[in-house]
Chains A and B, each alone.
Chain A
Amino acid sequence: MATIVVNGVKREVQAPLDTPLLYVLRNDLELTGPQFGCGLSQCGACSVLLDGKEIRSCTTLLSLAAGKEVTTLEGLPARWAKQKGLSAADAEKTLHPVQQAWIQEQTPLCGFCQNGMMIKATELLEQKPSPTVQEIKEAFTTSGPSAHLCRCGSYTAIIQAVQLASRIMANGGKA
């Protein structure tokens, strides 16, 4: 049993402390943004932000997330709204710039990996608002426990979407 803050809300979880966070999110909290891709920290499909840092929820035990703040794909709009100090009414209508860019660029093919791609993009843009193409490639390839993998080959579209998200963020959230 543990208490974790997920997408800004404190949640009591009954699952054993050795349960990987991914199963807690998907099964106990019904947050299905993160996907089970490998269970080995090798692909990134399960990524979430833990205190703002991209981690692999498939190998992060619940005990390690206790007391920390978890942001899932579902929580990106609220995260952006909070950062921008938007009213509750505006926050309801808002998507995170990364999500806006992903839609505008029609980035996903099957889309299974894109949860992790958007989480990684969010982490990157919070640290580096205007990354170069080289920095984007490094972020998705070498910065984490493994590269973020996409079998459909959407990497080109991801790079374009990160660049667009950067511009949207610089423009205060407007595409």
Chain B
Amino acid sequence: MKNQNIFGASLSRRRFVKAGGALFVGFGLAGVDGLNNTARAATTMKNTLDASLPESWIEIHPDNTILIRTGKNDFGQSTTFTAYRQIVAEELSASLDSITTVVAGDTDRTPDGSGAFDFLGSGMPNIRKAAAYTYQALLDLASQRLRIPKNQITVRDGVVSGGGKSITYGQLVQGQQLKLTIPVKGDLLSPMGLVVDGNPPMKPVSQYTIIGKSSPNYITAQKVTAKANWATDVRLPGMLHARMVHPKSLGSTLVSVGTLDRAKYPNAQVIVKGNLVGVVAPTEWEAIRASQQVAAGTKWRDWKGLPGHARLFDYLKRDADWKTTRVTKSEKSKGDVAPAMSAAAKKLNATYQLPYMKHAPMGPTVAVADVRADGNIYIYTHNQNPQALRGQIAQMLSISPDNVIVRAAAGPGHYGRSNGGNAGAEDEAVILSKAVGKPVRVQWMRPEDFQWSTQSPAAYSDVEVGLDANGRITAYQINHYMPAMQDDRPIGAVLAGLPTMPAPNENGVFIGSTVNDIQDPWIYDGVSTVLEQGYGTFQLGQKASPLAVGLRDHSMRTPGQFQQNFPRELAISEAAALAGADPIQFRIDHTKEERAIGVLKAVRDASGWETRPAPRSKREGAVLHGQGVSVMFRSATFWACVAHIAVTPATGAIKVEKVTVAVDPGVVVNPMQLKRQVEGGTVMGVSIALLEELQFDESAITSRDWRGYPILKMADIPEINVVILNKPEVGTYGGGSEAANALAAPAIAAALFDATGKVVRRLPLKPEYVLPVLKA
């Protein structure tokens, strides 16, 4: 059989085989223009799925079962186990149940890399295109086998029919080893991984039968019966348990290591490399006890290079360097704001502040590394970007990524913390395993996970809004200030003085930069002059830290956009009050975007919203009630949220009574999973609105545990109503796992204003910050 060209992919029969056989869909580079050398090198690496190998995206087996592969590792979004199976089944016109296996994350068993974010790729995840190419190849095969033209073929539940004949996909591939080569671009080891290229024909949304229905996540049953493969469960023969002795502060270098009490801990061993100190032992309890004993005797230099959280916003305003880094401007900026602002009849001028927050996964980071005598390194972990981790470990040891294999397992949600590669413990496990010549399991303890992991950066924004005499916004300017958002350097490598990527800097590319991009798409296109600017700076204390550590940051759910949407949406609510307008109608009146209007109307109808200006006129009593709204566009999805709260003016305590969220992702893939994601995100949103703020002093993070970093408890959750708007005509699948977390805070702050007439422009809305404003 000659190579066939299928919309840019090519199909060939590699050889006939006597038994078995399968259609393997892989990716190839032949004939694809515009590929950089890295992509070429990455896909020909050892221990990588390669275009010339049969392992691939999708395997159709003779028994009619189908296996799919994705580099994206699940973190509770469920997309890989639910939506991806639905999408592949839909594009192949196969049954959902025929897709029996999802292989995800493992660097030697999955094709495309990238991270556990943007799973639906605004409607075009890699797996969808791979499935679309596969479907075309199957049609060609069936056309030849059944001897009927391709356009006379119909497919239903994996059975191909035409001309009175029919054949299953399994029968079609039986006895043949076929390979479909499809075009890809990108860099396997980069944060974004490889992207499937080209434009294969897609099944029209109007013909969908599987997408749009709730399907359960099959991993759930494994998790609730203790049969899931968790990274915490990995045990290798001869494996040692390890605990780290991390420095006293974020800038403390090592003076001397404590002496191990060999009488008490006869099997333990201390390993030191630079400022990295670890203790290994055959049992976990001995490793813990021995590491505590060593830690007590270990001496570190003092360091004080942080402003401390009490002085944080003073520091950011007065002392931080906002000049070195290029200032960004949004694409939606337009017109001349300054004259419009000075001509305004009414003006709002305000500053909004957001604290450092922790991703705070329920389980501290854990990893097992096995540095083998043959030079291969196996890492078993739970991280959001296994291929990027592979590159980081190779860089750390100055070896080829060929020799690094990352196996991904289940674990606690990270909410972005490990989407650039490491989750925290992997590099330390590798360093220790290499030192002892055995597999080593590094488990961080709870305080370490708070004190040595990255955080979501603090931010503040200066906003100016001008309104005309009719209450319309005529000028809007916002300047966002935020330190670098993504430091992907493995911390163990930094402490050990081993090679890493540079810390975020003004010349860094993409996410390794201090540049503060505009992340929150402007949706009020009815405003005539708009200026949105982003100012970036270095991570706090990092340049001054002798360890080059300081307060390391990392993107967290709705990264950057949360920090920008909170000030924008609260300011819009305040502007509505200046205009004497209802906050929902005010928003509707300033946008032409139909989907934004759609979610605003939906949330107004579903929430019991009272249409009137804020603040409410009656503001007396021991407990006051208020309503507030917020809106956001993210990952091809429109969101609106209404919060109803009760506030006790005497104490400043806020109880969020009800949150209503309307979500329009375009095509809804799986309503039940989407609803659960939105409910969960909303709970996190209330938590960050009311409670969450990293505590740190001049040396270190002082939030050490769940008492020092409280999150929302079950008794304090609001009633949550989720309104899902299915818009098949939009044609894309918008994201639904994040953004829900970002909606509550601006809506709750607006509700506080509605209830009291006072605006608290600082998160979290805890009594310590709320009460002084109410009393003022």
Given the complex, which residues of A lie within 8 Å of B330, measured CB to CB?
none
Given the complex, which residues of A lie within 8 Å of B682, measured CB to CB?
153
Tell me the complex Cα distance, A134–B561, Å.
35
Tell me the complex Cα distance, A73–B77, Å.
23
Tell which of B216, B706, B713 touches A103, judged by Cβ atoms closer than 8 Å.
Answer: B216
Query: Would A37 and B363 count as touching, CB distance under 8 A?
Result: yes
Given the complex, which residues of B lie within 8 Å of A157, measured CB to CB?
676, 679-680
Knowing A42-B706, A151-B413, the reply to whether A72 touches B226 (Cβ < 8 A) is yes
Residue of B nearest to A34 (CB): B226
Knowing A152-B684, A154-B676, the reply to whether A102 touches B713 (Cβ < 8 A) is no
Mostly, the A contact residues are: loop
Given the complex, which residues of B lie within 8 Å of A106, measured CB to CB?
216-217, 220, 672-673, 676
Query: Would B413 and A42 count as touching, CB distance under 8 A?
Result: no
List CB contacts (< 8 Å) of A64-117 with chain B. 72-74, 77, 95, 99, 102-103, 106-115
Tell which of A35, A95, A115, A153 touches B712, judged by Cβ atoms closer than 8 Å.
Answer: A153
Tell which of A72, A115, A153 touches B681, judged by Cβ atoms closer than 8 Å.
Answer: A153
CB distance from A35 to the nearest CB of B (A): 6
Tell me the complex Cα distance, A139–B352, Å.
38
Residue of B nearest to A19 (CB): B285
Q: Is A148 an interface residue (CB 8 A)?
A: yes
Query: Would A155 and B284 count as touching, CB distance under 8 A?
Result: no
Given the complex, which residues of A lie within 8 Å of B712, measured CB to CB?
153, 155
Q: Is B221 an interface residue (CB 8 A)?
A: yes
Knowing A106-B217, A151-B361, the reply to whether A112 touches B412 (Cβ < 8 A) is yes
List CB contacts (< 8 Å) of B283-340 with chain A. 283-285
List CB contacts (< 8 Å) of A110-154 with chain B. 110-115, 118, 136-138, 140-142, 146-154
Q: Is B148 an interface residue (CB 8 A)?
A: no
List CB contacts (< 8 Å) of B681-717 with chain A. 681-684, 687, 705-707, 711-717
Query: Would A158 and B413 count as touching, CB distance under 8 A?
Result: no
Knowing A15-B285, A19-B285, A43-B362, the reply to whether A108 touches B445 (Cβ < 8 A) is no
Q: Is B364 an interface residue (CB 8 A)?
A: yes
Given the complex, which residues of B lie within 8 Å of A108, measured CB to CB?
76, 220, 223-224
Tell which of B217, B226, B672 touches A31, judged by Cβ atoms closer than 8 Å.
Answer: B226
Q: Which of B94-102, B182-190, B227-235, B631-639 contacts A (4 or more CB under 8 A)?
A: B227-235
Query: Would A156 and B362 count as touching, CB distance under 8 A?
Result: no
Given the complex, which residues of B lie within 8 Å of A37, measured CB to CB?
362-364, 446
Query: Would B216 and A113 count as touching, CB distance under 8 A?
Result: no
Question: What 1/0 flags go to B243-259 for Cβ under 8 Å of A?
Answer: 00000000000000000
Tell which of A18, A39, A111, A148 touches B445, judged by Cβ atoms closer than 8 Å.
Answer: A39
Q: Is B677 an interface residue (CB 8 A)?
A: yes
Query: Would B223 and A111 count as touching, CB distance under 8 A?
Result: yes
Tell which of B217, B705, B714 touches A158, judged by Cβ atoms closer than 8 Å.
Answer: B714
Tell which of A32, A36, A107, A155 touches B226, judged by Cβ atoms closer than 8 Å.
Answer: A32
Query: Would B715 and A35 count as touching, CB distance under 8 A?
Result: no
Knowing A42-B707, A103-B216, the reply to whether A110 touches B446 (Cβ < 8 A) is no
List CB contacts (< 8 Å) of A2-16 with chain B. 15-16
Tell me the complex Cα distance, A147–B364, Å.
18
Query: Would A42 and B705 count as touching, CB distance under 8 A?
Result: yes
Size class of the contact patch on chain A: 35 or more
Query: Would A109 and B676 count as touching, CB distance under 8 A?
Result: yes
Given the complex, which residues of A lie within 8 Å of B220, measured CB to CB?
102-103, 106-108, 111
Q: How many residues of B contact A (CB 8 A)?
A: 57
Given the complex, which residues of B lie within 8 Å of A77, measured CB to CB?
225
Given the complex, which residues of A lie within 8 Å of B716, measured CB to CB?
141
Given the complex, which residues of B lie within 8 Å of A99, measured CB to CB?
224-225
Given the complex, which residues of A lie within 8 Å of B684, measured CB to CB?
151-153
Query: Would A109 and B362 count as touching, CB distance under 8 A?
Result: no
Query: Would B679 and A113 count as touching, CB distance under 8 A?
Result: no
Residue of A nearest to B740 (CB): A153
List CB contacts (< 8 Å) of A23-54 with chain B. 23, 26-27, 31-33, 35-40, 42-43, 45
Given the complex, which residues of A lie within 8 Å of B445, measured CB to CB?
39
Tell me the complex Cα distance, A141–B75, Å.
25
Given the complex, which residues of B lie within 8 Å of A39, measured CB to CB?
445-446
Given the complex, which residues of A lie within 8 Å of B226, measured CB to CB?
31-33, 72-74, 115
Tell me the complex Cα distance, A99–B446, Å.
28
CB distance from B410 to the nearest CB of A (A): 7
Tell which of A26, A31, A140 touches B714, judged by Cβ atoms closer than 8 Å.
Answer: A140
CB distance from A70 to the nearest CB of B (A): 14
Query: Would B228 and A16 count as touching, CB distance under 8 A?
Result: no
Given the complex, which residues of A lie within 8 Å of B216, measured CB to CB?
103, 106
List CB contacts (< 8 Å) of B341-395 with chain A. 360-364, 366
CB distance from B522 to the nearest CB of A (A): 28
Query: Would B285 and A102 count as touching, CB distance under 8 A?
Result: no
Question: What 1/0 flags go to B432-451 for Cβ under 8 Å of A?
Answer: 00000000000101100000
Query: Would A45 and B362 count as touching, CB distance under 8 A?
Result: yes
Given the complex, which residues of A lie within 8 Å of B672, measured CB to CB?
106
Given the complex, which residues of A lie within 8 Å of B235, measured CB to CB?
27
Tell me the complex Cα distance, A114–B680, Å.
14
Given the complex, which residues of A lie within 8 Å of B232, measured CB to CB?
26, 32, 35-36
Query: Would B714 and A112 count as touching, CB distance under 8 A?
Result: no
Knowing A15-B285, A23-B285, the reply to whether A32 touches B230 (Cβ < 8 A) is yes
Query: Would B714 and A43 count as touching, CB distance under 8 A?
Result: no
Tell me the complex Cα distance, A115–B410, Å.
14
Tell which of B78, B285, B364, B687 touches A153, judged by Cβ atoms closer than 8 Å.
Answer: B687
Query: Would B683 and A153 count as touching, CB distance under 8 A?
Result: yes
Most-contacted residue by chain B among A36, A77, A153 (CB, 10 A): A153
Residue of B nearest to A134 (CB): B715
Knowing A20-B285, A108-B220, A112-B411, the reply to whether A149 touches B680 (Cβ < 8 A) is no
Question: What 1/0 flags go to B646-682 for Cβ under 8 Å of A?
Answer: 0000000000000000000000000011001101111
Query: Would B363 and A36 count as touching, CB distance under 8 A?
Result: yes
Query: Would B446 and A38 count as touching, CB distance under 8 A?
Result: yes
Q: Is B720 an interface residue (CB 8 A)?
A: yes
CB distance from A1 to the nearest CB of B (A): 14
Q: Is A169 an interface residue (CB 8 A)?
A: no
Q: Give residues in B with beta carbon < 8 Å to A.
A: 75-78, 216-217, 219-221, 223-226, 228, 230, 232-233, 235, 283-285, 360-364, 366, 410-413, 415, 443, 445-446, 672-673, 676-677, 679-684, 687, 705-707, 711-717, 720
What are the 6 closest A-B residue pairs judged by CB atoms, nearest first? A153-B683, A110-B76, A109-B76, A33-B226, A153-B680, A112-B412
Q: Give residues in A with beta carbon < 8 Å to B.
A: 15-16, 18-20, 23, 26-27, 31-33, 35-40, 42-43, 45, 72-74, 77, 95, 99, 102-103, 106-115, 118, 136-138, 140-142, 146-159
Q: What are some 6 contacts across the A-B interface (CB < 8 A)?
A: A42-B446, A73-B225, A109-B77, A111-B224, A137-B715, A153-B687
